[in-house]
Amino acid sequence: MAEEPPARGTLRSRLKESDGVGSGRWSLDLSGQYLAALPPELGDITELVVLDVSRNRLESFPASTSQLSALAELNAAHNILVQVPPEVHQMSMLACLNLSCNRLTSLPDEVTQLGLLRRLVLDMNKLTTLPEGISQLSSLEELNVGGNNLSYLPEGISKLTKLKRLCADSNVLTAFPGQVLQLSGLEELLLNHNRLSDLTDNLGQMTGLKTLRLNSNRIQTLPDSVLRLSQLEELDVQNNQLGALPLGVGTLPRLATLHVSNNPLVQPPPSVCGMGIEAIRRYQDDLASATTAVPHRLKVVLVGPAGGGKSTLVRALIGGNHKNDVVATHCADIVPWNSDDNVEFSLYDTSGRGVYQAWHSWMFTPDALYLLTFNLYDLDPESSQQDVEYWLDFLNAKVPGAPVCMVGTHTDEFTAALRAKKVARKCKDLSEMAQKWSQDRGRDIEAECEVIQGALAIKESTSKEPVHPLSGVGLSALQRRLKHLQKLKETRIQVWEEIVPVSATTMSGIPDLRACLVTAASNSTVFPSRPRMTSVPLSWLTLEKLLQQQPEFWMRREDCGRLAVQAGVPAEQVPQVLEHLQAVGSIVMITPHHGEEKVAPNPGRLLAFLCTLVNHDTEAWLKEESARFQNFSKVQYLEARSDLLQHGVMSHSMLCALTAKYTRTTQDQVDALELLRGLGLSYSVRKTPQRKDQNSNHKNSGNDWQHCFPVYCRDSLPSEVGMRWVPLPPVNTDQLEVGCHLPFCPPGLFSHLRVAAYRHLGTERVDWQTGVLTQVADRLLILQKNSTKDGSHITVASRACGEGRSSLWQVVLPVADILSQVLQCWPGLRHHLYVTCAHCLRKGVTNPHRFSGLLLLTTPPPGITLLDCPSTQGAQTVQAQLVYPPHRDPDQKMDSVLEVVATKLELRDWRRLGRTFGMTDAELDDIRYDFSDVHEQKYQLLWMWRRRRRSIATAKRLVSALKEIELHDLADAVRETLGYKPANQTAS
């Protein structure tokens, strides 16, 4: 509510000497008093020099204020003035006029008569034009017209020769104001948040410019003339459409601050720019010595069911003649191909046989183009729908957002007379199958989003919360799940509409497919987030050659860094070099479930090694007469073969025999086993004494070990499982079961989980193709995968009675945590974690109620010990301790903590914090690409850390990490949020 003007006699009592006693510069502060009018007596204080009436409710000035002839500074910001008060025109001594945050729609010509005005602030009004007479303000040093609706600046600005600072941000300027080029004394030019698309080539004329801010426009090119701005200290071009920075921008002598984030930069790459000006300078120096150009390069992965003609298609693409003796691919092949259009391809030809599919996912990388092949001749609209959906789900789970081109093969098998018509019909059928897949998956996600939105609406209402599938789930958990689902919907694989029909026999359609691939390699819209590079520093090429020469199957990033030093690549460029080499298929970066990223420097060699351990033709692969088994006795051979094919256990001697070409030394064997474990293919355990080979000569012989390959485990359920784990829990016994529903379960995921969790599952275990029964901490634990009509369910469960119930989470939760980590290896996979109702399990209910897995991240309501069993409409209850896990993080306000850190963390520090958490540069780049909002980038960093490192992602660890990078104030803010005193305060 507006207040009355100050009473007579009180105004002079408020006067102060603004520059100290004796200065004679009298000031009056009437700001922030919600005044609706100024007292008329104000004009009587003719000696007033400084007047502040900001943050009131003024619509006009009293006429008497025109008598303030000595007034030099007037601040009337944050009022509701719709025009400049006429009385201001009479204040001839004004040097500073601030009218920001009002409702001005125009600036009268009379203002231009204030010849002594040095600072004019008009931002956050509704101005659409400025008067041409502004040129008469010859003393003006600062002009701020930001936050208006200006579409151009008047020509008269070019005559403001004393102007040092011009702010015209947040307007609607579509063209760079060329008038400012005449202002040789201009030091700051702020044009943020406009609609500029081009900059003038004469930008270098402003040789005195120190600050240039152009962020949040539509600028595509930064002219080379910017290199002539020798006094430039700050350049901000964030949130534009820049693809490159001028060569030499890093050499500007005074440039200390350069902001270039959120641009589709190719050169320098974003990761280099993120390292600062010195890194850009080194990169550009290196680029200056690069080859004139490098060809476009593209990784192409061929996938699809067996018999789809992938291998013959590769032969046809590279120009070889098709022959009937082309054999089916064993696991996969990598074939280089240099097209006639100066494009280099790496063709990854994968086998469609089921036994190999669990081994393929490491080759699927986001920067590849995927050719999904189907035999058109055998295609049937009804029976083939499942195959089409399987492969689309497979790709979408591993590489969401990747481009997919569907290819129909074997067109030559149609009779010549009907070929064109039949091929067109089959292509249409295939296209409709893909469209149905897309519509169904989008509908499934929408349905879950509606459930979550319903839960959110209930929580936001003031009425009592009714029974709902997501009852009890925290607000923040619901919001994160909703955002995750929206991301899944937006980042699905991009299946191209056009089907390419081909025949490798007649070469029909092959030229069209070649043209399609060549276009994709050079078209930046195919991979909008990571455009193709046409020139790279010579040091990058040197590093690529060094990597290809390495004998290791995979390397740590630190090892790649040492090679980079040898090649002359600056340390800060290493992440970008590796990303580039993966995009072109030269290397593959692999992130095991534990998150320590590795690099396969020679994918072909890694693939050849893996091919020694898997084969669809076991008779030929494990043939006794093979030279590989020449040192085996008959008994040893039969036992080793039986153990592998019946129990999934490979003896150490057999592993060495199969991989002899690649494991010549003990260290080679160690590296190979680490690789297999990291890829989720096998784990190693010591033999029990009764199973040790009789020819073991010493205690620590390699033959003391055996290697378990889940993919080779028996299909049938072992009889002892049924005896030890009965279908229903015994009397007075409860079962804790955490599960995960997967509408689509990728091949190899369950095997990967068993490998990842082998330490928790122990060695005294029984394995079969779809499960493990083991004993952990004196309790039976069962891990199973069951297929149902709605997909697959992976469950981990244990049982106990009496006081033992409290320890069930200690047995189950570690495996459930590892399941969550393994699921992160499939970023596009939709899944639902849940906790099965213990009452339903005890009663053997066919469709037991499943509490949302979001409760696993929710603090149980205080005082709640029993929950209603929804399947009985509340007639029965289940103990809360069998639904909510014990709160492992002692900090009850972790969600609030993450929000505080995300809000206060400076943009320049978020990557440093991520590295402190142990996250890779690739992971950090993915966050930046996935989330354009800066706050959301910081929050997602913290959420990913908490989710992946759940057991150690505590507030204490967060405080420690912040202190490690010297963010002590933010660490104190975290402590205050938790209710602790800052570290520099002592208890009273």
- pLDDT at res. 323: 55
Using CB atoms within 10 Å of the CB of residue 367, give its burial: 0 to 12 exposed, 13 to 18 middle, 19+ buried.
Answer: buried
Q: Coil, helix or strand for 780?
A: strand
Angle (deg, nearest 10), helices 968-977 and 955-964? 160
930 confidence band (pLDDT: 50, 70, 90): low
Q: What mean pLDDT comes out for the span 688-695?
A: 45
Apex CA 884: angle with CA 879 and CA 887, to 5°? Answer: 130
Report the DSSP pairing between strands 832-836 and 733-742. antiparallel
Tell me the C-alpha distance between 395 and 350, whole Å. Answer: 13
pLDDT for 9-44, tens place per residue? 577 777 777 655 455 678 888 988 889 999 888 888
Can you give the pLDDT at residue 362? 87
Strands 234-236 and 257-259: parallel
Distance CA 496, CA 482 (A): 27
Residue 986 pLDDT more than 60?
Answer: no
Question: In this structure, what are the phi and psi dihedrals at residue 216, rounded to the nearest 5 degrees?
Answer: 60, 50
Q: Which of 117-121, 645-649, 706-710 has the highest mean pLDDT?
A: 117-121
Stretch 193-219: mean pLDDT, rounded? 90
Element (H, E) at 98: strand 96-98
Q: Which amino acid is at 919?
A: M
User: What sign for the dihedral angle of Cα 337, 339, 343, 347?
Assistant: negative
Question: For residue 786, how many C-alpha atoms fall within 13 Å in the half-sphere facing its CB?
Answer: 12
CA distances from 429 to 393, 406, 423, 424, 549 (A): 18, 12, 10, 9, 46
Domains and CATH numbers, the chain: 8-243 (3.80.10.10), 296-453+487-522 (3.40.50.300), 538-601 (1.10.10.10), 614-690+700-708 (no CATH), 712-882 (3.30.310.200), 889-985 (1.10.533.10)
What's residue 320's pLDDT?
65
Q: How far apart are the first and last CA of the chain?
A: 42
More confident position, 634 or 858: 634
- R_g over Cα of the chain: 35
Q: What is the pLDDT of residue 479?
A: 82
d(CA 398, CA 393): 9
Residue 695: what pLDDT?
Answer: 40
Q: Which residues of 835-850 are buried (b: 16+ CB within 10 A; e: fewer)?
A: bbbbbbbbeeeeebbb
- pLDDT tens by residue, 423-433: 999 999 999 99
Q: Closest by alpha carbon to 437, among 156, 743, 689? A: 743
Q: Would you call 900 helix, strand, or coil by DSSP? A: helix
Dist. CA 391–CA 743, nearest whole Å: 14
Separation of CA 152 from chain center: 39
Separation between Cα atoms, residue 148 and residue 172, nearest integer Å: 8
- pLDDT for res 467: 53
**Residue spans of beta strands (DSSP E) within 520-635:** 555-556, 588-590, 598-600
800 neighbors 776 (Cβ within 8 angstroms): no
**Taking a C-beta distance cutoff of 8 angstroms, is the pair 127, 152 a contact?**
no
Give pLDDT, residue 341: 80
- Residue scoring higher pLDDT (987 or 223): 223
- Residue 148 predicted with pLDDT over 50: yes
Q: Own/partner pairs for 703-707, CB < 8 Å, 24+ apart?
A: 703/651, 703/652, 703/653, 704/652, 705/652, 706/643, 706/649, 706/650, 706/651, 706/652, 707/649, 707/650, 707/651, 707/652, 707/655, 707/673, 707/676, 707/682, 707/683
Task: Tell me the pLDDT band of 952, cut-offs 50, 70 and 90.
Answer: low
Give the mean model confidence (pLDDT) for residues 178-199. Answer: 90
Q: Which of 344-348, 778-782, 866-870, 924-928 has the lowest mean pLDDT?
A: 924-928
Q: How far is CA 861 from CA 100, 243, 852, in A?
A: 50, 52, 15
Phi (first) and psi of residue 188, to 5 degrees: -130, 125
232 in Cβ contact with 206 (< 8 Å): no
User: 133-137, 214-218, 515-519, 850-854: which has the minimum mean pLDDT?
Assistant: 850-854
The β-bridge relationship of strands 343-350 and 403-409 is unpaired
Other CB atoms within a 10 A radius of the CB of residue 291 amount to: 10
Q: Are 408 and 502 in contact (CB under 8 A)?
A: yes
% of the chain exceeding 90 in pLDDT: 35
**Span 486-506, pLDDT tens digits:** 888 888 999 999 999 999 989
Q: What's the whole-number mean pLDDT along residues 861-874?
A: 81
pTM: 0.67
The predicted pLDDT at position 982 comes to 45
pLDDT tens, position by position, 567-581? 878 777 788 888 889
Q: How many CB atoms lie within 10 A of CB 405?
A: 21
What is residue 693's predicted lDDT score, i.e. its pLDDT?
Answer: 44
Which is it for strands 188-190 and 211-213: parallel, antiparallel or unpaired? parallel
Does 642 have pLDDT greater than 50? yes
Higher pLDDT, 695 or 911: 911
| Cβ neighbours, 10 Å, residue 279 | 19
The rounded distance, in Å, linking the Cα atoms of 38 and 964 is: 54
pLDDT at 8 over 60: no
pLDDT score recorded for residue 530: 62
At 714-744, the pLDDT tens digits run 888 888 998 999 999 998 899 999 999 999 9
Tokens (6 digits) for 640: 């080793």
Residue pointed to by tokens 């490098």: 294
Show the tokens assigned to 544.
């690529």
C-alpha to C-alpha distance for 214 and 231, rounded to whole angstroms: 17
- Select from 755, 679, 835 the least CA-distant residue to 359: 679
- 3-class secondary-structure state, position 471: coil
Helix (H) or strand (E) holding 27: strand 26-29
700: exposed, middle or buried (C-beta count within 10 Å: 0-12, 13-18, 19+)? exposed
What pLDDT band is residue 648 in, cutting at 50, 70 and 90? Answer: confident
AA identity, residue 423: V
759 C-beta neighbours (distance < 10 Å), count: 11
Is it the case that residue 979 has pLDDT exceeding 80? no
Main-chain dihedrals φ then ψ at residue 373, nearest 5 degrees: -105, 140
Name the amino acid, one letter, at 679: L
Point out the least confidently predicted range of 63-72, 137-146, 322-331, 887-896.
Answer: 887-896
Q: Are 812 and 738 in contact (CB under 8 A)?
A: yes
pLDDT of residue 192 exceeding 80, the answer is yes
Measured between alpha carbons, how far is residue 844 from residues 802, 841, 875 in Å?
A: 20, 5, 16
> What tens digit of pLDDT does each residue of 438-472 get?
999 999 999 999 988 888 887 766 555 455 566 66
* pLDDT at position 948: 63
Q: Rounded mean pLDDT of the chain?
A: 84
Confidence of residue 388 (pLDDT cuts 50, 70, 90): very high
CB atoms within 10 A of CB 626: 14
Q: Does position 647 have pLDDT exceeding 80, yes or no?
A: yes
What's the longest Cα–Cα distance across the chain?
A: 117
pLDDT of amino acid 34? 85
Cis geometry, peptide bond prior to residue 890 (ω within 30 degrees of 0)? no
